[in-house]
Amino acid sequence: MMMSFIKSFHFIIKLMFDITIIGAGITGSLIAHRLSKLDLKVLVLEKENDVAEGATGANSAMVHSGHDPKPGTLKCRYNLLGNRMYPELCKELQVSYVPIGAYVAAGGEEEEEKLDQLIAQCEERNVPYEVMDGDTARKTEPNLADRITKVLSLPTTGIVTPWEVVFAAMEEAMLNGVEVKLNYEVSSIEKKEDHFVINDEICTKVLINCAGAHCDDITNMLRESPYKVFARKGEYFVLDHLNGTFVNHVIYPTPSAKGKGVLAIPTVHGNVLLGPNSDDCEDVEDDSTGSGLDYIRSEISKTMKNIPYHKMIHTFAGLRPHIDLKDFYIQEDDLIENFIHVAGIESPGLSAAPAIAKDVVENIVLPKFEGYKVKETYNHRKPFINMDKMSDEEKSALIEKDPDFGRIICRCEKISMGQIKDVINRNCGARSIKGVKMRCRPGMGRCQGGFCEPEVLKILAKELHEEKTEVCLDRPGSNVLVAEAKEEL
């Protein structure tokens, strides 16, 4: 009986935490990364099969300058701060950040008046800018539509790959003691005198709600939520590698009541995104594409010409967690002590995330932990192996050390077996075909995995010590193979 009690006691201790974060998107991950530098016990809970799912995995992948959000809002404040933090953050995490710049394009008197309002906001916010006429802008953007008469240039606009930021932040957090539970859906939360109990098994002093489209569901487990989350869908076209042959800056239209409009967006890896639309939908899990793509075709033609639709290789949709308060909701709950809301993180949420994380940690969480200490030693991650950026000599040395780096699995993106094995066998490593794709890009090219996906499946099965029928495309239950029909030759 005593042995049974000891086992039970150890089980309880194992599941006690100082801070628990629900949701492993960009904001939750950056909060976890900041907390990993301190001597605190931190847990991250994520209902999906991987981090960086939801809005983080399907958005415009850009760091806005801060010229657009409504004055006096949290969106405005955090966007301006986050934009300035991104270069150093990406340097620390060893992920790509490109200060590509943006043009806001106006055609005609009405749009030029809206552009003048943005120029005034740039002045007020100390956002660097330049104004040029349409003909001058077309010298650097020859595919700018002929109707464009005036352009606002925003040089501090940047591009990142959002999920790469999350993978790096969470990997480094885990290297420094943060625990992560994937495929963990929160079904109950109970508030005790000095802690919360989650699913009758996890105890935590502080609870941070970063659950994206499900923030109100989490809050409703403790009290009636002061906000309601709605899904706002944005669809996109993905064009093949164009590397500046079509567009060199992010191209915005003048904004409307629905948001920043349909954009042309170069990506870190040389593709181009066209989108998004902005349609409200009832189902916060409905990421299907549809009629929104027709809207994108219509709207993008107002700012761009010679659009190479024959280079289109993929379409996708993302769901932005819009709340009825029309701003971010970031604060400690006014009724429940130690329950922290980080809700409504829609655009410019990616841009704002580093500043949100800093503010939440420094000004809301840490005052609750008197005498906390900064860790004396901190472990930095090694970046994913990118053979594209290596010299021939470096590639040869790597292949000589491990021949798997000489075996190309994805011919579109030139990704080797060694790279795929590397992203699987890490903290916060890939556990699905999509997880591998998002980390090192097999399946991102023009064939969209038509040739490499079966090979990725085999590598996952071997490295994870699973049967091939157990390997998932993405979420649990999305098994690619149902059964083996015959023995492999």
Domain residue ranges in the chain? 9-97+159-228+324-383, 102-155+229-322, 387-470
Helix axes 433-440, 162-175, angle to 10 degrees: 100
| Contact between 269 and 414 (Cβ < 8 Å) | no
> Looking at the domain that runs over 9-97+159-228+324-383, which CATH code has it been given?
3.50.50.60
For this structure, is 64 an active site residue? yes
Pick from 321, 377, 364, 363: nearest CA to 344 = 321
* pLDDT in 10s for each residue of the chain, 489 residues: 434 434 444 444 458 999 999 999 999 999 999 999 999 999 999 999 999 999 999 999 999 999 999 999 999 999 999 999 999 999 999 999 999 999 999 999 999 999 999 999 999 999 999 999 999 999 999 999 999 999 999 999 999 999 999 999 999 999 999 999 999 999 999 999 999 999 999 999 999 999 999 999 999 999 999 999 999 999 999 999 999 999 999 999 998 776 789 999 999 999 999 999 999 888 888 888 888 999 999 999 999 999 999 999 999 999 999 999 999 999 999 999 999 999 999 999 999 999 999 999 999 999 999 999 999 999 999 999 999 999 999 999 999 999 999 999 999 999 999 999 999 999 999 999 999 999 999 999 999 999 999 999 999 999 999 999 999 999 889 999 988 776 655
Enter the tokens of residue 85: 């933090």
The Cα-based distances of 393 to 306, 317, 387, 389, 390 in angstroms read 40, 41, 11, 12, 8
Specify whether the CB–CB gap between 422 and 442 falls below 8 A.
no
- Characterize the bridge pairing of strands 196-198 and 189-191: antiparallel
Beta bridge pairs of residue 151 = 105, 132
One-letter-per-residue 3-state SS of 25-81 = CHHHHHHHHHHCCECCCEEEECCCCCCCCHHHHCCCCEECCCCCCCCCCHHHHHHHH
Please tell me the distance from the alpha carbon of residue 200 to that of residue 433, in angstroms, as a whole number: 32
Q: Three-state DSSP class for 488?
A: coil
Is residue 347 within 8 Å of residue 60, measured between CB atoms?
A: yes
User: Which residues neighbour 417 within 8 Å (Cβ) at sequence distance 6 or greater?
Assistant: 404, 405, 407, 408, 409, 455, 459
SS (H, E, C) 409-444: EECCCCEEHHHHHHHHCCCCCCCCHHHHHHHHCCCC
Catalytic pick from 33, 64, 67, 249?
A: 64
Assigned architecture for domain 102-155+229-322:
2-Layer Sandwich (3.30)
Other Cβ atoms less than 10 A from the Cβ of 208: the count is: 28
CA distance 281 to 261: 18
CATH number assigned to the domain covering 387-470: 1.10.10
Q: Give the whole-angstrom CA distance, residue 229 versus residue 436.
A: 30
Q: How far apart are CA 247 and CA 262, in angstroms?
A: 14
Instruction: Report the pLDDT value the prediction gives residue 487, as an integer from 0 to 100.
Output: 63
Please tell me the distance from the alpha carbon of residue 144 to that of residue 367, in angstroms, as a whole number. 51
Parallel, antiparallel or unpaired: strands 16-22 and 196-198: unpaired
Q: 417 near 404, Cβ under 8 Å?
A: yes
* Per-residue confidence (pLDDT) for residue 331, from 0 to 100: 98
Burial of 83 (0-12, 13-18, 19+ CB in 10 A): buried
DSSP letter at 311?
G
Predicted model pTM: 0.94
Q: Supply the pLDDT for residue 449.
A: 94
Residue 304 has phi, psi (to 5 degrees) of -130, 150
- Tally of helices (H runs) and strands (E runs) in the chain: 13, 21
Q: What is the pLDDT of residue 23?
A: 98
SS3 281: strand
Query: 169: closest CA among 297, 361, 406?
Result: 361
pLDDT for res 258:
66
Beta bridge partners of 253: 105
